[in-house]
A and B are shown apart, each in its own frame.
Chain A
Amino acid sequence: MIDTIRQRAKELLESGEIKGFLGLAEKYGHIAPHLFSDADELDMLCLGDNNSPGDARYPLTKYLTNIAKAYPEDTFGILVRGCDERALTTLYTWNQLSPNKVVTVGFACPQVLADACECAIPYPAEIVAGDKAEGRENRCVAEVDALVLTDRFSYWMDEFVKCIKCYGCSNICPMCFCNDCSLKCDELVKSGELPPEIPVFHHTRAMHMVGRCIDCGLCEEACPSGIPLRTLYKKVNSVLDEQFDYRTGEKRGKRSPLNMLDT
């Protein structure tokens, strides 16, 4: 699979179609995000599998946004899984990236990763390598929803109380691109105070993830306290799916129903 992806990236780089290819590389004995600017470097390319499939994924679309802001005229290639593509679609919709300046090289996640992520669409639209795995429903949400209200409230409060306010969930998030962040707004979250007020801190972020979260799960992987953030954001997004038939990142140009005040 990796050879097919390497070949495609090589073609794109050598044809001059892209200025660089943003992917993952094995370097310094670790797996790192890397901008390949020369086809000779592609020997280092890897897919983010360390001990298990996809356990060393990074928000490449976030880094692409940083690069594209500095070099808006250049076209870049990027390695994408299903979640990365949902991120791109949403970033296009929110004018953070220009679709005609991005060339994707997509691959399908294996079934074991799709199962672990409970990912609805574990593959991008165009696949260079890998076989499509089956999408999965959110069992983690159903499990919490099955609790009676008081138990459910206790469950979340017991999780939120572990927060050390590192802002890792927001820092790692490919969808966190706002210039003014509500989590840094003194009226909602007091600056310099620890621990953060709960559940305000987490609810503020959860509200902002409605119609924005593309379910990559990187927030949960970045959380030093092991708070099940992915379950929380899956839940808020499931409300949009059920009530408005809206799934974030599925269709380019389609804004969340909560962002359609202008229509």
Chain B
Amino acid sequence: MDYRTVLTTCTYCGCGCNFFLEVLDGEPIGTIPCKTTPANKGKLCIKGWNVHEFVRNDKRLKRPLVRKNGQLEEVSWDEAITFAATKLKEIKEANGPDSIGFLTSAKVSNEENYLLQKFARAAVGTNSVDHCARL
């Protein structure tokens, strides 16, 4: 048997609540809010309390997908990134940088959010950046 309590950070928003995932024989079976962490001090919201339930959800995206002939198909990271980069370049050249907008996420880190706005402003050349918390 293998029972572990694994410290991790909630991916639902930017608060950074810490909890232990209760993992029995490799399967997450529960969420235990960490009491010694300054962000949440043993408390969680309803989403955080149920994190263990989505870890193995079938609907979770695990591989990059590209729509081909109307169907989403699994592709390699290289292909997905090349596809996105090529399309972004084409759109920018055809319609200008302000024809592109970027929506970033509460589920990624502060640093990743910083990188996305930097990419939008410096690489693409638009100030159209927003965040899912305002949707």
- Residues of A whose CB lies within 8 Å of any CB of B are 19-20, 27-28, 30-35, 50, 55-58, 63, 66-67, 70-71, 74, 164-168, 171-172, 221-224
Contact = CB atoms under 8 A, between A and B. Distances in A.
Given A30-B18, A165-B46, A221-B42, A56 B24 contact: no
A63 B31 CA distance: 11
A207 to B, nearest CB: 22
A35 B24 CA distance: 11
Contacts of A171: 31, 49
Q: For B25, B43, B44, which residue has the most chain A Cβ atoms within 10 angstroms?
A: B43
Contacts of A222: 33, 42-44
A170 B43 CA distance: 12
B135 interface: no
Interface size class of B (residues with CB under 8 A): 20 to 34
B37 interface: yes
B24 A66 contact: yes
Interface of B: 1, 3-5, 7, 18, 20, 22, 24-25, 29-37, 42-46, 49
B35 A167 contact: no
B45 A63 contact: no
A166 B44 contact: yes
Contact of A56 (B3, B22, B36, B43): B36
A68 B49 CA distance: 22
Contacts of B30: 63, 66
Contact of A31 (B3, B4, B31, B35): B35
Pairs of residues from A and B, 8 with the lowest C-beta to C-beta distance, nearest first: A224-B43, A35-B3, A28-B7, A30-B36, A56-B35, A166-B46, A32-B5, A31-B36
B35 A50 contact: yes
Nearest to A71: B1
Given A19-B1, A67-B3, A71-B1, A50 B45 contact: no
B84 to A, nearest CB: 35
Contact of B35 (A27, A58, A70, A165): A58
Nearest to B24: A70
